[in-house]
Structure 1
Amino acid sequence: MPVDAPLSKHDPLEAISADLERVRRHQNAGRYSKAEAMLTQLIGTHGEVARLVHMRGLNAAMQGDIDAGLAELKGAMGLDLNDVGIIVDYGTLLAKQNRIDEAIDIFQAGVDTNPQHALAYANLGAALVITKDYPRAISALRTALDLDDTLNDSRLNLAQAYIRTSAFQPAVDVLFRVLAQDPQSPAAHTNLALTLFRRERHDAAEHHARRAIELVPEAQEPWLHLGAILGAAGRMEEAAEALLRIAGKGAFGIAALVRLVSLRKTTADSPEIALLNDAGATLAAHPDAPLETVSAYHFAHGKASQDLGDYDAAAGHFARANAATAQLYPFDRKKALDQNTRVRDLVTPQLMAQHAQAGLRTNAPVFICGLPRSGTTLMEQMFSRHPDVQAGGEMLATHTAFQKNALLRAVLEKERPASDLTDDTIDQFAEDYVEFLHKEGLKSDVVTDKMPANYYYIGVLAMAFPRARFVLMRRHPLDCLLSNYTQNFGSNQTFSTTFHGLGLTYNLFDDLATHWERLLPDQVRVVNYEDIVADAPTQMRGLLAFVGLPWTDDVLDHTGATRGVNTASVAQVRQPIYSSSVKRWHHYGPHLKELAIAVQDHLTEDEQRACGID
């Protein structure tokens, strides 16, 4: 956050503005004693005028005495309540002392005092990014840029706010504006590497990661992104080489180590083992380490232990990892139950008959959905090999279309009755979905959308796209849920941090999947992951016929897909279809007893006994 010290229009010392400018130059050059001498002389002549006290406070702060600087600036604000420059600098010093909430109040006061002061908005937005109040941050930063288009720091902060809210395309747009003003901005290239990666533009993402490294070779973050980009493109050896450069070192060392462990199988001679042990010792010596770091480390060590066949150790690490994540992001049981009930109750045969003429018939999207880790990524990779299919990946198209349709959203949330829906409402929802596709360059008649959570909205999507097909993936509950439990989803899947949450989610999914299959037999096809593993040719022949596509052997060569993979399945889908992912839960046995109890109705007696249920 920049220090702002322009000559205030309220300052009566216009006659000595040249002297004030000279003080600034001394300060900028680090000649603090000379600046202090000049200020002492000026104050002796003109008295303690607000701007002079302000400059004296900055001089103290620049020499490291932040407390003295705060005291001086607070006094200066009392001398001139309308000088926003003083207000902004006071807030900046508070922020430097990590008193962010106080700083936000001060910056807000600056904005309220002068709504045309760009730096007040800029610093307010920067502070709000720190506190993760991203909607307010975005508003403040956009206002700052409207007032002063040269504030590249504000663009970088705005890009961060967009990234944290998964608004990757707006972040890309903002970052290219940064480069237009500063083509050698390492931060812009680094963040473009991340955002373009998340937009699955891997070639462009790689370019910006490498450019950031050229500009600042010792920077860690671009190496982290480069490793992720190369891994998603299937260039595993290059990815590992990039990640090993920083794994276990500095601010991004844990993140790089975690990504490296997830990228490949840990073996007895893998360098990851020593790195994990070192990281564990460091964390043990710092019991106040952030929970995010603790969680990430234990997920990685759990996966490495699993690779090495030490399932008892793996179970312990996964338990600690999920306990840390659960503290950060508790699972809301009531919200999950309410959501499941609402979507099931909304779309009835009567409602579908009432709106039988609604929706777009120009598009035939294929929604590949189900619980996470149920085989959706593998299925889409197989579909992506078909010449008539464009693969969209995990798109936010459904979410975006709902966000643009307040009436449909209100009906879904039971804030308005279903009778308020019109054919036009459904048409607009479909049009907004297609608009999202077109912005992504997806204009084929058949586009796959593998956002797993779309299974919630199958009823609405079926009305919006009467030609749509839904491939609803199922997987053995213990394999599926264990795979979720052993992945670090952060805030994205709070249900996965406890066996209770996992069990509830599976039971709700099973109920909803059965409902959609009965309600929409011509549009919904349930596919068992285990059946794909056992006999992919037979399963894919049936699925292509179901979707209305001709057979091609190419769909069986999913490893030849050129499209990158950004999900947790990246390493697995680069391998031929294998059976080792089936019945993996057997390795954990009694460690899964609580989970097995939660999904007992879906298990055989032998499976229950294997988990320690009498």
Structure 2
Amino acid sequence: MQHDNGTGRHDEAAEKAAPATEVLARIARHQAAGRLDQALELLDGLIAQHGPLPRLLHYKGITLGLRGAPEDAEALMREGLRKAPDDPLQHLDLGVLLVGQGRADEAEHLFRTATELAPNYGAAAANLGALLVQQGQYGEAIRQLDRALELDGSNVDVLTNLALAQLRREGRRAAVDVLYRALAADPLSARAHGLLAGALYRLERHDAAEHHARRALELAPESTEARLHLANALAARGALDEARALLLEAAGRPPAGLAALARLVQLGKVTPQGPERALVAQYLERADSLEDAAQATLHHAAAKVCDDLDDPDRAMEHWHAANAISARLHPHDADAFAARAARLRAFAAPALLARCSGAGVSDIAPIFICGLPRSGTTLMDQMFSGHPQVTAGGELRAMPQALHEATRLRAALEERLPEDQITADDFAQLGERYMDLVRAEGIRSEYVSDKMPSNYLYAGLIALALPRARLLVMRRHPLDCLLSNYTQHFGRNQPFSADFDHLARAWTVFDDMTRFWQEALPGRVRAVSYEAVVQDPEGQMRPVLDWLGLDWHPAMLEFAGASRPVVTASQAQVRAPLNAHAIGRWQRHARHLRPLAARLRAHLPPADLARCGLD
């Protein structure tokens, strides 16, 4: 938040006996330099000479606030505002004072009033936008910050706040563009370098992410955020030891210490001699003082420590606590999810498939690796990264984005447009947009693997838009897969993962969709067992490659040492040689999984039900 000593819309000349401009300028210089006693002395002199004019009360209030007397500051600023209620500057600076006291709702009202009084007052829009980012109101924050940039396009604080709002809304590419603008305005902005590192990391541009993270750390050597961003980039390319060292430096130090600790415990098995246990215990002692989202992060980290140290009961207590918080913060509408899946199946009826086939884009042959999260999609993608004809694209957002932009298809899916008005050209446009988005990632190869898990929902649309596309649907033991989701801190990204009932319903939807697409799209959809791939990778991959029309390459089994970066919850696992440690993990937690197993009766054999204590 920023104070503004500008004029806003209030006409200070209208105040009788206006103080000399040069004296006010001296006061502003004293404030900026921290010479607050001198500033107060000059202000008291002006008030004695000219009386308690609104702006003088206002400036004295600002000075007292800077001096650490917020109550006295607020009293003076409110008196100034009472005398000049149409002065946007008074509203703005009082709002900044209240933000510092944690009184965001009152500050928001003042900022909004300032923007109404002076629509072209950039500082008011900037401060309102910054506050809305803090409150999680990202859509309106972006609108306010865009407006502030129209009025001052080089304000680095506005640019970085806008980028942060875009990142929270998953607008990573837009955020990258904005952050490059911020660095053009101020190449020494550590915050811009740090945010850019985070955005580039999520876009899997790891060399660039590492560069900007290192630059942020050079500019702000004590920054825990910069260490966290650099560690993420290093871990993504397999430099796990260096990443752990950075995370250990940052763990426990605000403001990103807890995030660093959570990442640290995920990058390898915690040992009794390791520092993670003590660090987690320190946070648990003051857990009640943390915000809800931070408490969820802490409980997930504590659960991982307990699980690694062979205390599954205590681990499950922490996972339950973490997910109870996540379920409250990020509600999941299981009915809406199931209805959407049913609508996608109904839409891709045989008549539509027959009527709209034959179009689409054949210049690219995507290999969609999909399924529920934690089902082995990352493993399969890494194996394809060793094939010389395939570019492993990672979790591409190309298909979800292309579908979002396909307004006619969306209208038909939402039953706002009759299905008989959908033509083969609608699917051709979908395929063209998908290919454009893939090419925008720098991928030029004919074959590209796309491991966005949720693409299994759209198999019918994909088949019509991309005739050469094939879908590999990863299947894993239901309890292993769903337990892995439950124990992973997805937050708002996978809200179904925080509740046993929602997990079971997600599995049922997934199973129904997979079976439906295999029947509706013969030769286009193939189910692959995660367990079978782990136990016999070559034996499983050879027929898959035959199905894709590709030759076998032994390099597909060398993914443990692959240089391709990985951005996934599975970073540490996919850097290790294949092993069966994750197979049957659910069994050590079987007693705690009884409620989940009960909801999955139709999908589990009697022996697994019995192990969970069910008849």
TM-score by length of 2: 0.95
Indicate yes or no: 2:197 matched with 1:193: yes
The 10-residue stretch of structure 1 (299-308 or 154-163) with the greater mean CA deviation from structure 2? 299-308
> Which residue of structure 1 aligns with residue 135 of structure 2?
131
- 1-structure distance, mates of 2:263, 2:516: 38
| 1:245-301 C-alpha deviation (Å, 9 max, x unpaired) | 122333322222211111011223222223233333343xxx242222222222222
Which residue does the alignment assign to 2:531? Answer: 530
Post-superposition offset of 1:243: 1.2
8 Å CA contact retained: 1:168, 1:195: yes
SS of match in other structure, 1:98: coil
- Percent of pairs with identical residues: 43
Distance in structure 1 (CA, Å) of the matches to 2:507 and 2:183: 46
Where 2:565 maps in the other structure, the secondary structure is: coil
**Secondary structure of the corresponding residue to residue 195 of structure 1:** helix
Residue 82 (structure 1) shift: 4.1
Deviates more, 1:74-83 or 1:404-413: 74-83
Shift in CA distance, 395/51, structure 1 to aligned 2, threshold 3 Å: same
CA contact under 8 A between 2:19 and 2:46: conserved in structure 1?
A: no
Contact 1:5 1:86 in 2 (8 A): no
Q: Does 1:176 align with 2:183?
A: no
CA offsets, 1:310-337, max 9 Å, x none? 3223222222222222222233222222
Q: Is the 8 A contact 1:369 1:452 kept in 2?
A: yes
Q: Write the distance in 1 (CA, Å) between the matches of 2:415 and 2:102.
A: 42
Distance in 2 (alpha carbons) for counterparts of 1:23 and 1:304: 55
Shift of the 45–363 alpha-carbon distance from structure 1 to 2, 3 Å rule, reads same
Shift in alpha-carbon separation, 1:432–1:75, aligned structure 2, 3 A: farther
Equivalent AA in structure 1 for residue 124 of structure 2: A
Question: For the residues of structure 1 that align with 2:30 and 2:308, how far apart are their CA atoms?
Answer: 61
Match of 1:565 in 2: 566
Rounded to whole Å, the distance in 2 between the matches of 1:364 and 1:433 is 11
Q: Distance in 2 between matches of 1:325 and 1:39?
A: 51
Tell me how far apart the structure 1 counterparts of residues 609 and 135 of structure 2 sit (CA, whole Å).
46
Post-superposition offset of 1:479: 0.9
Q: CA RMSD in A?
A: 1.9
| Paired amino acid for 2:4 | D
Does the 8 Å contact 1:301/1:317 carry over to 2?
yes
Task: State the distance in 1 between where 2:64 and 2:251 align.
Answer: 40
Which residue in the other structure is 1:6 paired with?
6
Looking at structure 2, the residues matched to 583 and 38 of structure 1 have their Cα atoms a distance apart, in angstroms, of: 75
- 1:592-614: CA deviation from partner (whole Å, max 9, x where unpaired): 11111111111111111011002
Which SS does the other structure have where 2:20 is aligned?
Answer: helix
Match of 1:465 in 2: 466
SS at match of 1:61: helix
Distance 1:27 1:392 in 2: 53
SS at match of 1:525: strand
Aligned: 1:358 with 2:359: yes
Secondary structure in 2 aligned to 1:245?
A: helix
Aligned CA distance change for structure 1 residues 579 and 33 (closer, same or farther; 3 Å): closer
- Taking the aligned partners of 2:577 and 2:80, their CA distance within structure 1 comes to 70
Q: How does 1:575-590 map to 2 (within 5 A)?
A: 575-590=576-591
With 25-34 and 361-370 compared, the bigger mean Cα shift is at 25-34
Q: Is 1:10–1:82's contact at 8 Å kept on the other side of the alignment?
A: no
Find the counterpart in structure 1 of residue 224 from structure 2: 220
Q: Within 2, Cα distance between the matches of 1:359 and 1:261?
A: 45
Q: In 1, are the aligned partners of 2:332 and 2:495 still within 8 Å (CA)?
A: yes
In the TM superposition, residue 44 of structure 1 has moved relative to its aligned partner by 4.4
Question: Are the aligned partners of 2:154 and 2:182 in contact in 1 as well (CA < 8 Å)?
Answer: no
Distance 1:300 1:185 in 2: 32
Query: Which residue of the partner structure matches residue 30 of structure 1?
Result: 34
- Cα distance in structure 2, aligned partners of 1:172 and 1:596: 44
Deviation at 1:455, TM superposition (A): 0.9
Partner of 1:146: 150
Whether the 8 Å CA contact 1:7–1:17 is kept in 2: the answer is: no
- Deviation of residue 75 (structure 1)? 3.6
Asked if 2 retains the 8 angstrom alpha-carbon contact of 1:359 and 1:465, the reply is: yes
Check if 1:544 corresponds to 2:548. Answer: no
Partner of 2:605: 604
Matches within 5 A, 1:168-317: 168-283=172-287, 287-317=288-318
Q: Secondary structure at the match of 2:68?
A: coil
- Going from structure 1 to structure 2, the CA distance change for 1:411 and 1:68 (only over 3 Å counts) comes to farther
| Equivalence for 1:18 | 22
User: In structure 2, what is the Cα distance between the partners aligned to 1:273 and 1:39?
Assistant: 55
Q: 2:309 is aligned with what amino acid?
A: L
Q: Which stretch of structure 1 is more off in the superposition, 274-283 or 241-250?
A: 274-283
Which of 109, 112, 130 is the equivalent residue of 2:113? 109
Give the aligned partner of residue 369 of structure 1: 370
Whole-Å separation in 1 of the counterparts to 2:341 and 2:180: 41
| Distance change (3 Å), C-alpha of 1:602 and 1:88 | same
Distance in 2, Cα, partners of 1:35 & 1:217: 33
2:506 counterpart residue number: 505
Q: Which whole-Å CA distance do the structure 1 matches of 2:48 and 2:254 have between them?
A: 49
CA-CA distance at 1:441 after TM superposition:
0.5
More deviation, 509-518/326-335: 326-335
* C-alpha distance 53-268 of structure 1, shift in aligned 2 (>3 A): closer
Gaps of 5+ in 2: none
Shift of 1:560: 3.3
Q: Which moved more, 1:592-601 or 1:17-26?
A: 17-26
Report the equivalent of 1:378. Answer: 379
1:316 is aligned with what amino acid?
A: E
Where do residues 438-457 of structure 1 align in structure 2 (5 Å cutoff)?
438-457=439-458
Question: Are residue 493 (structure 1) and residue 508 (structure 2) matched?
Answer: no
Paired position in structure 2 for 1:401: 402
Q: Which residue of 1 aligns with 2:475?
A: 474
Partner of 1:338: 339
Determine which of 65, 71, 81 is the counterpart of 1:67. 71
Measured after TM superposition, the shift of residue 47 of structure 1 is 4.3
- Matched position secondary structure for 1:371: coil
Which AA in structure 2 matches 1:240?
Answer: R
The worse-fitting range, judged by mean Cα deviation, of 127-136 and 327-336 is 327-336
Tell me if 1:42 matches 2:46.
yes
In 1: Cα distance, 2:333 partner to 2:55 partner: 52
Per-residue deviation, residues 198-243 of structure 1 (Å, max 9, x unmatched): 1111122122222222222222111122222221111111111111
Q: How far does the alpha carbon of each residue in 1:116-143 deviate from its partner, in whole angstroms, 9 at most, with x for none?
A: 2111111111011011111111111122
Deviations 1:89-118 (A, max 9, x none): 122222222222222222222222222211
What code does the residue aligned with 1:67 have?
A: E
Secondary structure of 1:571's partner? helix
Measured in 2, the distance between the counterparts of 1:104 and 1:432 equals 40
What per-residue deviation string (whole Å, max 9, x for no partner) do you get for residues 137-195 of structure 1?
Answer: 11111221121122111111111111211222222222222222222221122212211
Determine if contact 2:368/2:470 at 8 Å carries over to the other structure.
Answer: yes
CA distance 1:77–1:281, change in 2 (3 Å):
closer
Partners in 2 of 1:31 and 1:410 — Cα distance?
62
Q: Secondary structure at the match of 2:430?
A: helix
Cα separation, 2, equivalents of 1:209 and 1:567:
19
**1:45 positional shift:** 4.3
Once residues 443 and 452 of structure 1 are traced to their aligned partners in structure 2, the CA distance between those partners, rounded to angstroms, is: 22
Measured against aligned partners, the alpha-carbon deviations of 1:37-91 in whole angstroms (never above 9, x if no partner) come to 4334434444444333322332332223333333433343444444322222122
Which residue pairs with 2:166 in the alignment? 162
**Residues 610 and 199 of structure 1: is their aligned pair in 2 closer, same or farther, counting only changes over 3 Å?**
same
Q: Measure, in 2, the Cα distance between the counterparts of 1:462 and 1:196.
A: 31
How many correspondences in the alignment?
A: 611
Deviation at 1:588, TM superposition (A): 1.4
Amino acid at match of 1:73: M
Shift of the alpha carbon at 1:559?
1.6
